[in-house]
Structure 1
Amino acid sequence: MEGFLTSDQIDARTSRALAAAVAAGRDLGLTVTDARVLYDVFSVVVHLAPSPVVVRVPTVLPSFAGPGYQAARQRLELDVAGWLADQGHPVIPPSPLVPREPVQRDGFSMTFWQFVELDQSLEPDYVRNAGLVAGLHAALRSYPGELPFLSAAEPRFVSEGLAALEGRPDLLEPADLDRARREWDVLEPVVSSRAAFEAAFPGIEFQPVHGDSPAANIVSTQNGELYSDFELTTFGPVEWDLAALGPACEDAYNAAAERRGLRRLDEGVLRVVNAVGMSRAVACLALAPQLPLLVEALKPAVEQWRTMPFAGGLEG
């Protein structure tokens, strides 16, 4: 398709990210003789073996997300994950072998994390994990730092992504793009302003939340489950962390939340955060030229979105 990276170009991007991670690690005094790529989708994740350090190098990004933009978000991520680790909560912590700061090298902005051995024998249990998220929320309530309101909704990413899909029927049909734009016109003001959200949902309490489907970002290790990937940590309703997981996960969360003295999920807020999550998924198609696998990967989400209530019921 027009403008899509070839497999050779993607391989070259991965190689550049790997080389930057290795060079940055060595500059920080780490021994790196057997580096290997663990994961390569939106980020290239590199184990700087034999050092017990993993580097995450974002590579698939919107046009506005330069290294400075990334570094600002990465500092928040390192601070939140580091604070949780310091309090004894089960997270993959920033590497203790380097400063807790993002590192910029060769056009990339990267973060350094402690290497942990994953237990590959276990299949993800999202229902069980959804119950664990209540424990994470209980821990995050005490986080002392400041976080932006619902930055995980990424309003600029959605708005610019939908604009980029204009004239790209190979990525999104015109009728779908029209609905997405009309729906985003309703949703965007609510998630961009705390006052607007509070007006739409009076009495809903906010707190620090993970921001990126924590039930899907819990990893199993020999020493138990660890929370990971705090890239989108934000301040907002707890419902944001349960978006798109379905009734069984919501029930598991509610039961665990009640045991901890936390509030149950609000169904109206859930409908809206589900709709916002779908807007983000649709806008993510604009990244497909950088990551062609998104065309097929996002088809089920787009098909589901077509069946959902417009704007989560905020209009009509």
Structure 2
Amino acid sequence: MREVGRLARRLGLPGDDPEVLKDGYNLLVRLRPAPVVARVATVTAVVRADVFERFRRADELSRFLAGRGVPVVEPHGPGPVRHAGLVVAFARHVEHDPDRRPDRASFTAMLAELHGELRHYPGELPERGPLTDLDAALSLLGRPADLVAARDALAARWPEGPAQALHGDSHARNVLVTASGPVWNDFEDAWHGPVGWDVACAHGLFDEPIDYPAADVPFWLELRALYGVCWTRVRDLYRTRTLPRP
């Protein structure tokens, strides 16, 4: 927190009353009284050697979508920065109700509209984002035999078919419900792949699967489940200081 405050002052942001909004895989700090949120790479910086590039792509993709009229949380400032060994990105703070989520039908329509806009994105994105993260996480975990076998079995069944730019972490918690409507957030996990991955990301927060035309959703649900197990174990090691911190 101290370094975030120092960085804010260096960039001319008033951060005299910082508020931790979330401490998950990244640390989110509102730089009160400024309407700005700092995203500090924590667990993600341990797993992702390219975390700065991930933040930069998320910034670029958000600006692209905002330019097309898509409601997104917009970046603040010129882009992510490195400071005191940390990678930090800034976004405007969006007032929202953290207890509200879109209903299943609304979310499905939003995801379809988002995918339609993402098909126009001209930038380069990773081709196998989840597998890259899995391999890094498994290495940090000491490559447990059962998880490695599950990873290899899924990689051998990787579906062929249409691919496009994806949100990458498109669950309902990454939609902020504001007074003027829902707003997409957090494009750090964006990659180029089948839409089934984004559909699988959405499944966990609804009682029933969303009705979306995507091929081989069961495969992506399996991959998403393994992905979640590995990330959770890495996060737990990080919090017990078993893993080095950035």
Indicate if the aligned counterparts of 2:107 and 2:172 stay in contact, CA closer than 8 A: yes
- Whichever residue aligns with residue 286 of structure 1, its letter is V
Indicate if the aligned counterparts of 1:94 and 1:112 stay in contact, CA closer than 8 A: yes
Indicate if the aligned counterparts of 1:250 and 1:265 stay in contact, CA closer than 8 A: no
The residue that corresponds to 1:106 in the other structure is: 84
- Whichever residue aligns with residue 81 of structure 1, its letter is S
The residue that corresponds to 2:169 in the other structure is: 212
Aligned residues: 236
CA distance in structure 1 between the aligned counterparts of 2:31 and 2:208, rounded to whole angstroms? 39
How far residue 62 of structure 1 moved from its aligned partner, in angstroms, is: 6.3
Deviations 1:211-244 (CA, angstroms, capped at 9, x unpaired): 0124331110111100001010111111110115
The residue that corresponds to 2:134 in the other structure is: 158
- Counterparts of 1:286-305 in structure 2, within 5 Å, are 286-291=234-239
The residue that corresponds to 1:270 in the other structure is: 217
Q: 1:28/1:63 Cα in 2 relative to 1: closer, same or farther (>3 Å)?
A: closer
- Counterparts of 1:105-124 in structure 2, within 5 Å, are 105-120=83-98, 122-123=100-101
The residue that corresponds to 1:22 in the other structure is: 5
Identity of aligned residues (%): 31
Q: Please, which runs of 5 or more residues in structure 2 have no aligned partner? A: 241-246
**TM-score scaled by length of structure 2:** 0.86
Deviations 1:23-58 (CA, angstroms, capped at 9, x unpaired): 222212222322211111111111111211111112
CA distance in structure 2 between the aligned counterparts of 1:123 and 1:278, rounded to whole angstroms? 22
CA distance in structure 2 between the aligned counterparts of 1:275 and 1:224, rounded to whole angstroms? 32
Indicate if the aligned counterparts of 2:37 and 2:92 stay in contact, CA closer than 8 A: yes
- Counterparts of 1:212-291 in structure 2, within 5 Å, are 212-243=169-200, 245=203, 248-251=208-211, 254=212, 264-266=213-215, 269-284=216-231, 285-291=233-239
How far residue 160 of structure 1 moved from its aligned partner, in angstroms, is: 4.2
- Whichever residue aligns with residue 46 of structure 1, its letter is V
Structure having the higher strand fraction is 2
Q: Could you say what secondary structure the match of 2:197 adopts?
A: helix
Q: Please, which runs of 5 or more residues in structure 1 have no aligned partner? A: 1-17, 168-176, 192-196, 199-203, 255-263, 293-316
Give the root-mean-square deviation of aligned CA atoms. Answer: 2.3
Higher Rg:
1
Q: Could you say what secondary structure the match of 2:198 adopts?
A: helix
Q: Could you say what secondary structure the match of 2:71 adopts?
A: coil
1:139 aligns with 2:117: yes
Indicate if the aligned counterparts of 1:206 and 1:236 stay in contact, CA closer than 8 A: yes
The residue that corresponds to 2:243 in the other structure is: none
2:148 aligned to which of 178, 181, 195: 181
How far residue 272 of structure 1 moved from its aligned partner, in angstroms, is: 1.3
Structure having the higher helix fraction is 1
The residue that corresponds to 2:25 in the other structure is: 42
The residue that corresponds to 1:301 in the other structure is: none
